[in-house]
Structure 1
Amino acid sequence: MFQSAVLSRGSSMNQVMTFFYYFAYGSNLLGDRIRYKQKGAQYDCNGRLDHFRLEFANYSERWQGALATVMEENGKEVWGCVWKMPNEYSESLDEQEKGYHRLMVPVHTPHGVILCRTYQYSDLQADPMPPSPHYKLVIVEGAKEHKLPSEYIKGLESIKDNGFKGSVDVDIPLLAKLNVKTEL
């Protein structure tokens, strides 16, 4: 079916893995965003997760809109980035992805299929809702930064956001113009 990350990248089974592969499809596509908390993250390659679709659910106070998740659906695909994460960032990444559960998935990359950790929102029955313009911008710019397929980027750009105007609780340079204080 697929090879483990160790075998697919030319390592021997006797080596101790000092890192894990993480497949990011949401805000962690953007280098500035993932390194905001996960300083040791190293971009490895782009990848495609087959038989899943990108969905937005669960209102986030931090982002003022819904968050990205992946949902199983035959014939669909989600593009993203594969990051090499030092093992010492495992708990920190879990904490950042609170409300999500770990999922090990086979990701198709230029190097072959790599078994990656990703995260799926834990309430699989949550109603879909739109993301904030801020969150959508981070995802789209991350996709552009890593040169995901142009048709996929167009699909991301076409996602309807919730129109939120104001500040979100994420301090990265990309959001400076959108993070404006609104008058009460």
Structure 2
Amino acid sequence: MSVQPRHLQGLQTQPSLSKRSAQLESPGETFYYFAYGSCMCPVDLKRSLGEPTHPYTIGPATLKGYRLQFSGYSTLRNCGVLDVVKDPTASVEGVLYQLPWRLSDRLDEREKGYHREAIEILSGHTVYSNVRTYTVAHKLSQELPPNDWYFQVVLRGAVTCGLPESYCWHLFNYMHQLQTRPGQNTPIKTAAISTPLPG
């Protein structure tokens, strides 16, 4: 008899991707996607996927064992963009979507320069396994701050989708501190940054 880990006791779990893989190949099926950066904003996600995504929002979700980091560079936005990196002492809040499978390729296209990862997410009282997210493939040696536009899109997504107020303030302070740290008054030198991300 298997014993469920204490932090998962009393929680519902979703079937693993291996049990549903055949179904997920069908264009009529869906997949779970965890967004933690600009894709938290359904309006910005619609820009890439070509249709409204707010109806596909499940709600706020938590990724344990990771932390946020501005370790990517976007040529489209000309600034640093968010990434998640493993950290057993931290957690990341974000938005869980259940997207139609037909949007899978479009999401991959948006996330060029990122690796697709399979993670476990807690949303409400349910644990979702084999949820898709993306991490920066080639990380910068030091964090690069966001520009004002990216700053606003990330915050808008966090607030619109109901992330905890304390986390929204954490996001605000984190991005503001990066923007105002010494040496950030000079323009970003794109030529010096390798493997840029499109969006």
> 4, 16, 25: which is aligned to 2:23?
16
- Once residues 119 and 149 of structure 1 are traced to their aligned partners in structure 2, the CA distance between those partners, rounded to angstroms, is 22
* Structure 1 residue 134, shift from structure 2 partner: 0.8
Give the number of the structure whose residues are more often helix, by fraction. 2
Q: 2:23 aligns to what SS in structure 1?
A: coil
Q: 1:151 aligns to what SS in structure 2?
A: helix
Q: Which residue matches 2:47?
A: 36
Larger Rg: 2
Provide TM-score, normalisation by structure 1: 0.78
Given the superposition, is the C-alpha separation of residues 113 and 164 from structure 1 closer, same or farther in structure 2, using an over 3 Å criterion? farther
Q: Does 1:141 align with 2:156?
A: yes
Q: Does 1:121 align with 2:128?
A: no
Q: 1:154 aligns to what SS in structure 2?
A: helix
- Checking the alignment, whether the CA contact within 8 Å between 2:72 and 2:83 is kept in structure 1 is no
Matches within 5 A, 1:47-86: 47-86=61-100
Q: Which residue matches 2:59?
A: 45
Q: 2:143 aligns to what SS in structure 1?
A: coil
CA shift digits 1:3-33 (9 cap, x unpaired):
87446xxxx9698240100000000111101
Provide TM-score, normalisation by structure 2: 0.73
- Checking the alignment, whether the CA contact within 8 Å between 2:62 and 2:94 is kept in structure 1 is yes
Given the superposition, is the C-alpha separation of residues 163 and 125 from structure 1 closer, same or farther in structure 2, using an over 3 Å criterion? closer
Q: Which amino acid aligns with 1:92?
A: R
Given the superposition, is the C-alpha separation of residues 14 and 131 from structure 1 closer, same or farther in structure 2, using an over 3 Å criterion? closer
Q: Which runs of 4+ in 1 moved over 4 A?
A: 1-4, 12-15, 162-165
Q: Which residue matches 2:126?
A: 112
Q: Percent sequence identity over matched residues?
A: 27
Could you tell me which runs of 5 or more consecutive residues in structure 2 were left unpaired when the two chains were aligned: 188-199
Q: Which residue matches 1:174?
A: none
Q: Which residue matches 1:156?
A: 171
Q: Which amino acid aligns with 1:146?
A: C
User: How many pairs does the alignment contain?
Assistant: 162
Could you tell me which runs of 5 or more consecutive residues in structure 1 were left unpaired when the two chains were aligned: 166-184
